[in-house]
Structure 1
Amino acid sequence: MANPSLLSLSVCLLILFHGCLASRQQGQQQNECQIDQLDALEPDNRVEYEAGMVETWDPNHEQFRCAGVAVARHTIQPNGLRLPEYSNAPTLMYIVEGEGMTGTLIPGCPETYQAPQQGQQHGQSSRFQDKHQKIQRFRKGDIIALPAGVANWCYNEGNSPVVTVTLLDVSNSQNQLDMYPRKFNLAGNPEDEFQQQQQQQSRGRRQSQQKSCNNIFCGFDTKILAEVFQVEQSLVKQLQNEKDNRGAIVKVKGDLQVIRPPRIQSERGFESEEESEYERGRRGRDNGLEETICTMKLKENIHDPSRSDIYTPEVGRITSLNSLNLPILKWLQLSAERGVLQNNALMVPHWNFNAHSIVYGCKGNAQVQVVDNFGNTVFDGEVSEGQIFVVPQNFAVVKRARGQRFEWISFKTNDRAMISPLAGSTSVLRAMPEEVLANAFQISREDARKIKFNNEQPTLSSGQSSQQMRDDA
């Protein structure tokens, strides 16, 4: 007989899972996906700070409203510190360029990075040593996953700018506020980067009260904060920082001195540690015992070619990141895909059958076509580095590199997003009998056989055969 407690737990987990899925589906049903025309979009707003800038795309644009997301791009100069903040939505942050370190501040987790204790020596009393939660290094190609409401900071410790692209999934069930991205600042006086009407009204109320402070501490009474922190009111006013005009990204004087493992040890163990986590994820070990919330892995690199899931030499590669190789994505209901096309190669027409896809051009240019459920071409144009476009769920899309190379990152609104190709060895047409194709398209069985078997490549194609046919014609 089954253990009643285990049966009850299973039922609860099942209800919880279906409840989360239903919440997300209900939120997505409220999105606006009546799209007749897509565009490759540049950022609409730019805010410059002391040591960097933040660029955002208008979250009210119909493409982002359809996908239920908001997107921002951060540029952090060397020695620049992005001040701690949290948001109302789960977040995926992709490191386009640069390297640095980041801290994710999870409530209740222990301060596992500690300086050694110094006891009394030669008549000297011990002095206080700092301790804090774990710090991670990041590099180009890393994806960093952040649950809603979890605070995070970033520091550029390299010699070149750090560029990140951040997706906020505002339609996620973790966000119970509204469909607008909200940033909650723990320090400084950053501007409203998304320039939303609701927050502009809020700013207007603050201005009417003759305040210029824009972080969480500003709204609390100074005496109450002094009592909570057990410090002087003058120090509390520094937390509120009304006269700080540096913004959300500030310049650190000298180097940021924090407790962390020596760099050489961290770098030596970097690849082996990630490979171990990656392989464990590949084997599907996700029963909740391997990772606690405090030690859960939040980062994975998808730039390394050896991690490719689809690879064709001199054509390109695709690397997928989902809940199988980064388990926290199951909680966030998000995933990502990084692609590289070389030498005019193309990714065959396909559709995402369980997710929206938000595509950011990382390098080069591509010719892109997107087709809706009526067979209308809703986008036929060039996508360049730094531009974004959205491919709604089930819309078909094809990409061809213009010139020597095109690289992109796609954020997807499902933790195990899947595609269905229209051509190639894994395509929907390949799976059909010849007789079905012949009757569906009114072609001969010989032509149906060509449609099925002429392209033996799975997802990426060099396009050489079609080019040769055009030359012969």
Structure 2
Amino acid sequence: MAYSSLLSLSLCFFVLFHGCFAQIEQETQRQRQQQQRFRTECHIDNLNAQEPTQRFESEAGVTEYWDQNDQQFQCAGVALVRHFIQRRGLLLPSFSNAPQLIYVVQGRGFQGAVIPGCPETFQSDSSSQGRGGRRSQQRGSDQHQKVRQIREGDILALPAGVAHWIYNDGESQLVLVSLLDTSNQANQLDENPRKFYLAGNPQQEQQQQGERQRQRQRWGQGQGQSRRQEGSQQSGSNIFSGFDEDFLADSFNVENELARRLQSRDDQRGRIVFVQDELQVLSPQRQEQEREERRWERDDNGVEETFCTLRLQHNIADPRNADVYNPRGGRLTSLNSLNLPILRYLQLSAERGVLYNNAILAPHYNLNSHSVIFAIRGNGRIQVVRHDGQNIFDGELREGQALTVPQNFAVIKKAGSEGFEWVAFKTNDNAMRNPLAGRLSAIRAIPEDVLINSYRINREQARRLKFSRDESTVFSSEYSAQRRRY
């Protein structure tokens, strides 16, 4: 009996130990994923509002790149790209060495992401109706992986190595801004953002980028920077162009002429090409997709999703999804791994902000992430202060410009007379912000006597400091007018 009890107790301890050990392993793995980022350096004396430095025209659009070697992007370990896709323009299939978040700034279209090993769940017969609204009997049947309708305000999440394409089926230009997290653990190469094309001939684009980097090397940058640029200096076509033509023909079991078309060596259209007629793909109607999105928002607990059915998209521009709303000041919407579970694997999140004219976003700092702010509309004055109290940015951020705010650096935003809208990409799947003023602020949480002795003020001043601003996070301009009258 005693032996049986001892055995049962031992088994309980064994199960408890392994359960705790599994939790420790999970946390260790999570910390290990973040260690990659510590290789970046954030010795920043001055920040600047950044605009794209390279522009490449394609047949059906334009691609712009921000300078990846700028110190603020190196600090965050990210790269920023923007695409302008014309009507009936197709962004050719490609994949990257780093996970990325894509924000739809303007327009609509649809996107396909090819997840390895997952089935082609969209299937048609010869009489089915395609995306363009016409019968496709002459085309025969087709099957492919899921295609997603996208619209302004959507965030698209893409793991490293997942090939994707985007098509503009709207009446206006489709504008996308993409952040690639090159310091992510998923990137095992180096901190260069690399695009691997499945189609097209991006030779000119790669040549110009390589030449620009070679010039920087000749200007005497350090050995570490040279290693960063290594590997991006070669030029070439898509990845099929490097294979032997006969190997390709055998692999696909096709004739050599078709294998040569895969290599696209004579294709001068660039990475965004025109589709002659409406693109014919299988996709649910937009209303059906919106109903499905609402169902996920209502029912999803993050458990039901499998890798093949992971949601890769979430809209953060809809005012109904706002986390913070002040009818006199504006709104703030956060996207993290709690409402888009795939971000847990990407270790990224996002924030969409709207400030009305002259409204203020409370001074705050990001506890556990860098933040890359991209101005969507309007303009705002931003100040950034580093650990030693030094103001390293005090200026205007206008539409189309980007600014990096490193982790723990304090920042404040004030909208201009026309308001200010932005999207912020953050390098943590559950980025946290700590406000320094307002109803939910750090100052309000500190006892009065601590404030009195810290700032050498009297009790009345301490109480005014704590309670004069009842708004949280988003402040209206009315309080400032009242304060000036006071």
Tell me the TM-score normalized by structure 2. 0.88
Q: CA deviation at 1:463?
A: 3.0
The answer to whether 1:150 aligns with 2:150 is no
Residue 58 of structure 1 contacts residue 194 of structure 1 at CA under 8 Å; is this kept in 2?
Answer: no
The answer to whether 1:246 aligns with 2:258 is no
Q: CA deviation at 1:16?
A: 4.7
Cross-structure match for 1:42: 51
SS in 2 for 1:294: helix
- CA deviation map 1:395-448 (0-9, x unaligned): 000000001311000000001101111100100000011110011000001100
Tell me, in whole angstroms, the C-alpha distance in 1 between the residues paired with 2:46 and 2:272: 36
Q: How does 1:112-191 map to 2 (within 5 A)?
A: 112-116=121-125, 129-190=141-202, 191=205
What amino acid maps onto 2:251 in structure 1? V
Number of residues of Structure 1 aligned to a counterpart in Structure 2: 449
Tell me, in whole angstroms, the C-alpha distance in 1 between the residues paired with 2:318 and 2:106: 14
Cross-structure match for 1:227: 250
What amino acid maps onto 1:15 in structure 2? E
Residue 279 of structure 1 contacts residue 325 of structure 1 at CA under 8 Å; is this kept in 2?
Answer: no
- CA deviation map 1:193-242 (0-9, x unaligned): 85544899768766xxxxxx410101111111111001111110100011
Residue 91 of structure 1 contacts residue 167 of structure 1 at CA under 8 Å; is this kept in 2?
Answer: yes
SS in 1 for 2:469: coil
Residue 336 of structure 1 contacts residue 410 of structure 1 at CA under 8 Å; is this kept in 2?
Answer: yes
What amino acid maps onto 1:273 in structure 2? E
Tell me, in whole angstroms, the C-alpha distance in 2 between the residues paired with 1:393 and 1:257: 45
- For residue 33 of structure 1, the aligned residue among 39, 42, 62 is 42
The answer to whether 1:466 aligns with 2:480 is yes
Distance 1:432-1:201 versus aligned 2 partners, 3 A rule: closer
Q: How does 1:422-441 map to 2 (within 5 A)?
A: 422-441=436-455
- For residue 346 of structure 1, the aligned residue among 332, 345, 360 is 360
Tell me the TM-score normalized by structure 1. 0.90
Q: CA deviation at 1:78?
A: 0.2
What amino acid maps onto 1:162 in structure 2? L
- CA deviation map 1:323-362 (0-9, x unaligned): 0000000111100000000021000100001000000000
SS in 1 for 2:308: coil
Residue 99 of structure 1 contacts residue 139 of structure 1 at CA under 8 Å; is this kept in 2?
Answer: yes
What amino acid maps onto 1:45 in structure 2? Q
The answer to whether 1:308 aligns with 2:305 is no
The answer to whether 1:286 aligns with 2:302 is yes
SS in 2 for 1:336: strand
Cross-structure match for 1:19: 29
Residue 156 of structure 2 contacts residue 312 of structure 2 at CA under 8 Å; is this kept in 1?
Answer: yes
Residue 125 of structure 2 contacts residue 140 of structure 2 at CA under 8 Å; is this kept in 1?
Answer: no
SS in 2 for 1:452: helix
Q: CA deviation at 1:88?
A: 0.4
The answer to whether 1:398 aligns with 2:412 is yes
Distance 1:273-1:232 versus aligned 2 partners, 3 A rule: same
Residue 92 of structure 2 contacts residue 273 of structure 2 at CA under 8 Å; is this kept in 1?
Answer: yes
Q: CA deviation at 1:48?
A: 0.5
Distance 1:185-1:355 versus aligned 2 partners, 3 A rule: same
Q: How does 1:66-145 map to 2 (within 5 A)?
A: 66-116=75-125, 129-145=141-157
Cross-structure match for 2:8: none
Q: How does 1:314-463 map to 2 (within 5 A)?
A: 314-463=328-477
Q: CA deviation at 1:100?
A: 0.3
Tell me, in whole angstroms, the C-alpha distance in 1 between the residues paired with 2:157 and 2:444: 36
- CA deviation map 1:443-469 (0-9, x unaligned): 001100000000010101113222333
Structure 2 segments unaligned to the other structure (5+ residues): 1-10, 128-137, 215-226
